[in-house]
Chains A and B, each alone.
Chain A
Amino acid sequence: MGEFLNPAFLLEIFNYLVRYVPITIGLAVGTMLLSCLLALIITILRYNKVPLLGKLADLYVLLCRALPSMILLYLVFFGIPILLMAFSGTAKSAMLLRNIPPIAFAVCGLTLHTGAYLAEIFRGALQSVNIGQTEAALSIGMTWSQAFFKVILPQASVFALPLMANQFLNLLKGTSIAFMISVMELFGAASVLAADNNAYLEVYIVAAGLYWTTSICFEKIALRLEYNLSYFKRGANK
């Protein structure tokens, strides 16, 4: 590769790396779904001020928002095996742990990180819904869960969607740290390829381009979704 940024070489790298884009997207989408679930639970706990759990949820959100995702990932990666060992009391489970693929740890760590941010977003979204809505729903005889899922959540989601899309884009970029615990996603593959060929500049330019394109695609999708969902809002304003 004597010349500077050989196009044929770049194309070759592109063909190799593009296969890892689905892994990155899968990791991001999977994590996002799990963190939505986690954040929903956390939000319900905080919203209803459940005695002890509500406080714990507050603490979780506070801590996980203050921690860099890198450190959270390491804590999960080194912590879960030790936790399991402490519970089972033997090193036998440590043998079992070797069979767990590192991607599971990555999903765990990223879920904890994103979940905390989403919980804050959901809290803000719930606050944006007028309290009268809950009261009205309860007064016509809905149960709490009916009121929450049928009345509050759809309205809150309009508020939360742009923020969630933003968080998803952050997460999509955040998946790149998963390579630190040897997950072969887009960035992991890129760093291996770069080291193999001793072509750092070319490989990382292509990797950056792929991330860029993916981000822009998801941004467009999010805008589209936002427009569709704003139907509720537009309907209300008329």
Chain B
Amino acid sequence: MGTIFSVEYMIKSFPTLLSLVDVTIIVTVVSDFFAIIIGCIIALTRINKVPILSRLCALYVSFIRGTPFLVQLYLICFGMPQVLGYFGVEDPRSIPGMAYVFLVMSLHEGGYIAEIMRGSILAVDKGQMEAAKSIGMTGFKAYTRVILPQAFRMAIPALGNNVISTLKSTALIFNVGVVDMMRRAELMGSFSYRHLELYVDIAIIYIGLCFIVQFGIAKLEHCTQMKNPAVS
């Protein structure tokens, strides 16, 4: 095997792995975007106690939070084609794995974001809603113009943590056939027998990404705090 740990190989393969970082970023951004939408809808359903739907949403959140991400990933990615097959969809396996990954990541993060948003919507002063109603806003308008902007500002730190956890769970999606850094490292590793060097590379990339996201969130938090002088 020559040397035990080859720094040279580690440096040499770093660009190859870094070239696949876009998959990770795209999955994180897209699924977080949909997750926030799902989360808001669920949070509003639960807060307004819509008859049957709010029960269903509570069940959904409990399921998402009670089962591992990996189980959900496998359930959707391998179970979904089977379901589609029963319903007569022709050749469900031709749907790319990426579509399932987007679906399951959005659903998973949506469950967590729902709880975050529920907390922060409830934290918005009740008077705000009453004031909005009193000047003749409809419920929808009051939420989109008055309540949600304030709730989002409060939720930014928690949402930021959520983005980081999404980023970290993207390390698992290679299990279902998406070619990302982990899959490439596995392929390269089985060729060169130097797994450790490759995984150290990936570790460096993930740490870098986490710090970038963290920095961005800190900036965003700082910016949004300025908007309302009454609070700060």
Question: How far apart are B103's CB and chain A's nearest CB, in angstroms?
Answer: 15
Does B127 touch A at the CB level, under 8 Å?
no
Q: How far is the CA of A78 from the CA of B66 in the complex (A)?
A: 30
A212 touches B63 (CB 8 A): yes
Which chain B residues (44-79) contact chain A, with CB distance < 8 Å?
Answer: 62-63, 65-72, 74-75, 78-79
B67 touches A211 (CB 8 A): yes
Q: Is A149 an interface residue (CB 8 A)?
A: no
Whether the Cβ atoms of B67 and A215 lie closer than 8 Å is: yes
Would you call B199 and A86 a contact (CB within 8 A)?
A: no
Assess whether A229 is interfacial by the CB under 8 Å rule.
no
Is B9 located at the chain interface by the 8 A CB criterion? no
**Do A205 and B78 touch across chains, with their CB atoms under 8 A apart?**
no
Pick the contact of A74 from B62, B199, B211 — CB < 8 Å?
A: B199
A residues 165-224 with Cβ under 8 Å of B? 173-177, 180, 187, 190-191, 194, 200-201, 204-205, 207-208, 211-212, 215-216
Q: How far is the CA of A190 from the CA of B67 in the complex (A)?
A: 14
Number of interface residues of A (CB under 8 A): 36
CB within 8 Å of B: which residues of A?
A: 4, 63, 66-72, 74-75, 78-79, 82, 85-86, 173-177, 180, 187, 190-191, 194, 200-201, 204-205, 207-208, 211-212, 215-216
Name B's A-contacting residues (CB within 8 A).
4-5, 62-63, 65-72, 74-75, 78-79, 82-83, 86, 168-172, 175, 182, 195-196, 199-200, 202-203, 206-207, 210-211
> Could you name 11 residue pairs across A and B whose Cβ atoms are closer than 8 Å?
A63-B207, A68-B172, A71-B171, A71-B199, A78-B196, A78-B199, A86-B4, A86-B5, A176-B69, A208-B67, A208-B75
